[in-house]
Amino acid sequence: MNNRYLWFFQRGQKLLSEGRSSDARVAFLNAAKCLYEMAKTAPDVSSSREWIGRAERLLAIAEKLEEESPASGTGTLKKARAKAGEDHSGFSPQSSKSSSLPSSSEEEGENGESRWELSEIPDITFDDIAGLEPVKRLMRERVLYPLHHPEIAAAYHRSVGTGVVMFGPPGTGKTMMAKAIAGELRIPFFSVQSSSILSKWVGDSEQNIRQLFEEARDKAPSVLFFDECEALLGKRGEDSSPAMSRIIPEFLAQLDGVSKDSKGLLLIGATNRPWDLDPAMTRTGRFGEKIYIPLPDAAAREFLLRKKLQDLPGAADLDLALIVEKTEGFSGADINGLIYRIIDPVFARAVECGTAQPVTQSDVEAAFELSHPSVTKEELARYEEYIKEISK
C-alpha cells in the first residue's frame, strides 16, 4: 500500500507542476484513500493517526485545486474514512477482513471470477530490490532454477516447487521479495492473509484451505504467498484453540500433496516471528527453506534513498552519503517513512507558493528529528539467536 500511496502522491506532484490541476486533484484524492486504507492495518495507534493526518492534509490541498472530477467524488473518500474507522473524536483501529482473500461466506464474482484474489503477474523483479544479493542468489539456486529448468532439476533430484519461509524484522521487504520471485518467473501471485482463511464456523477454515490449494494448483506454476504466516501456522500446544488443532493437520496434508506433486506450485511464507511456527510446518519437504531477510546495509540504503529522492527538486544538492550514514539500523519501511516526512512539508510549501520548492538539507534534518529505527537491538539479537538454533 505504501508504494501505491507514493505513486499517486508523486503523480499528483508531477501533474500539478504541469498545470493539470484537475488531474492532480484526482491523484491526491487517490493518495489520501491509500492512506486511509493503510490506517486500517497500522501497527500502532501513533502510525494510524499519522497516516490519517497526512490524508487530511492532502484533502486540504485538494480543496484548493480545481473543482472535483466526477470520476473521483467525495463518496470515495467517505467510504475510505468509514473503512479506516475514523470518527470526529480521533482514530480507533478496527479489525477488518483482508481484501486478499474473502471470507467463506462470500460468493464468486458475478462474472465468474475466482473468489480468491489472484493478482496479475507482478511487474517487479530482483533488479527492483535494494541489496540482499546473497538472498537473491539463494532464491535463484533453490527456487528459480528448478522452476526454469525442470529437466535439469530432475536429474539432480531437485523438486520443481518448494516451500520457503522468509523471516526477519518488520519492514525489510519480505513481501516485495515474494512478488519479485513471481515477477522473475512471470507466473501468477496468490497473496493470502491468515485472517481471511480463519473462520469461527466449524469446517469452514479447512474448506478454505482446500479450495485455495485446489485453485492454486489449477493456475500452476504460481506463487502462493502467506503473509504473517505464524498466525496460521503457529505452534500447537495446550493453549491452542480447537480451530488451530483442525487447521494445521489440513494444511500439512496440503503441503504433503504439494511435495509429492507440486506442478510448479511455489509456497512462500513470511514472518517476523519464525520461532512461533509449528515445527511440523518447517521440516524438509514443507516450508523447509528458511531464509533471513535482514535490515538493509549501506549499499541497499543508498539504492533506496537515491531511487526515492532522485527526481525531487533540489535533490542533487543533498548530502546523500550523510543520509545513508544516519539511516544505519533503519528498515526499508523506516526509510519510506523518512522520505514522507522530508517531502510533505516541501510539497505543502510548493502548493502554498504556487511554484516548485527545492528539498533542502534542513528539511532532511527536520525529518530525522521525527524518524527513528523501529527495530531494537534486542530484537536483532533474537534473530541472531534463532539463526544459530536452526544452523545446528
Residues 330-347: tens digit of each pLDDT: 998 899 899 989 998 998
Query: Are 15 and 45 within one domain?
Result: yes
Is 234 found in the same domain as 325?
A: no
Domain termination residue (choose one: 263, 295, 327): 295
Are 352 and 313 in contact by the 8 Å Cβ rule? The answer is: no
**What's the whole-number mean pLDDT along residues 356-383?**
92
Sorted by sequence, the CB contacts under 8 Å of residue 361 that are 6+ apart come out as: 317, 318, 319
CB atoms inside a 10 Å sphere around CB 350: 18
Please check whether residue 306 lies inside any domain of the structure. Answer: yes
Cell digits of residue 228 = 504473517
What CATH number does residue 130 fall under? 3.40.50.300
- Whether residue 130 is predicted with pLDDT greater than 70 in this model: the reply is yes
Q: Given its phi and psi angles, is residue 202 left (phi above 0), alpha (psi -120 to 50 degrees) or beta? A: beta
CATH number of the domain enclosing 345: 1.10.8.60
Cα distance between residue 239 and residue 225, in whole Å: 27
**In the chain, pLDDT over 70 holds for what percent of residues?**
76
Same domain, residue pair 264 and 162:
yes
The answer to whether residues 272 and 212 belong to one domain is: yes
Cβ neighbour number for residue 252 with a 10 Å cutoff: 16
* 93 in any annotated domain: no
Same domain as 149, residue 50: no
Peptide bond into 169 cis (omega under 30): no
Cα 101 to the center of its chain, rounded Å: 15
**pLDDT for residue 121:** 77
User: Number of structural domains, the chain?
Assistant: 3
Decide which of 295, 313, 340 is a domain's last residue: 295
The reply to whether 3 falls in a domain is yes
Helix axes of 2-17 and 332-353: crossing angle, nearest 10 degrees: 20
C-alpha atoms less than 13 angstroms from C-alpha of 197 in its C-beta half-sphere: 27
Strands 265-271 and 163-167: what pairing? parallel
For the ranges 10-24, 212-226, 297-311, the maximum mean pLDDT occurs at: 297-311
Please identify, among 295, 323, 341, the residue that sits at the C-terminal boundary of a domain. 295
Q: How many helices (H) and strands (E) does the chain have?
A: 17, 8
In a shared domain, residues 291 and 305 = no
Can you tell me the mean pLDDT for 116-140?
77
Name the DSSP letter for residue 234. B
Predicted confidence band of residue 245 (pLDDT cuts 50, 70, 90):
low
Residue 193 within a domain: yes
Arithmetic mean of pLDDT, 69-85: 42
Residues 266, 150: one domain?
Answer: yes
Residue 104: inside a domain, yes or no? no
CA angle 263/269/273 to nearest 5° reads 160
Share the mean pLDDT of the chain: 76
- Which residues partner with 271 through β-bridges? 167
Instruction: Tell me, yes or no, whether 137 and 200 share the same domain.
Output: yes
Contacts of 19 (CB under 8 A, 6+ apart): none
Helix (H) or strand (E) holding 193: strand 189-193
Q: Are residues 40 and 149 in the same domain?
A: no
Torsion over CA: 240, 245, 246, 251 (sign): positive
> 70: pLDDT confidence band, cut at 50, 70 and 90?
very low
In this predicted structure, the answer to whether residue 302 has a pLDDT above a threshold of 90 is yes
More confident residue, 340 or 198: 340
Residues 263 and 241 in one domain: yes
Which residues 6+ apart lie within 8 Å of 271 measured at CB? 165, 166, 167, 228, 229, 230, 277
Please give the residue range of the domain that contains residue 254: 118-295
Asked if 224 and 190 count as a contact pair (C-beta separation under 8 A), the reply is yes
Go through the chain and tell me how many residues it has. Answer: 392
330 with 294: CB under 8 angstroms?
Answer: no
- Asked if residue 112 belongs to a domain, the reply is no
Confidence of residue 233 (pLDDT cuts 50, 70, 90): confident
- Is the domain of 187 the same as that of 301? no
pLDDT in the model for residue 75: 44
Does residue 181 sit within a domain? Answer: yes
125-139, 194-208, 307-321, 334-348: range with lowest mean pLDDT: 194-208
Q: Are residues 223 and 318 in the same domain?
A: no
Nearest to 80, CA basis, from 91, 69, 70: 91
- Helical pair 21-40 and 2-17, crossing angle rounded to 10 deg: 160
**Residue 21 pLDDT greater than 50, yes or no:** yes
In a domain, 99, yes or no: no
Q: At what angle do helices 74-84 and 21-40 cross, to 10 degrees?
A: 20
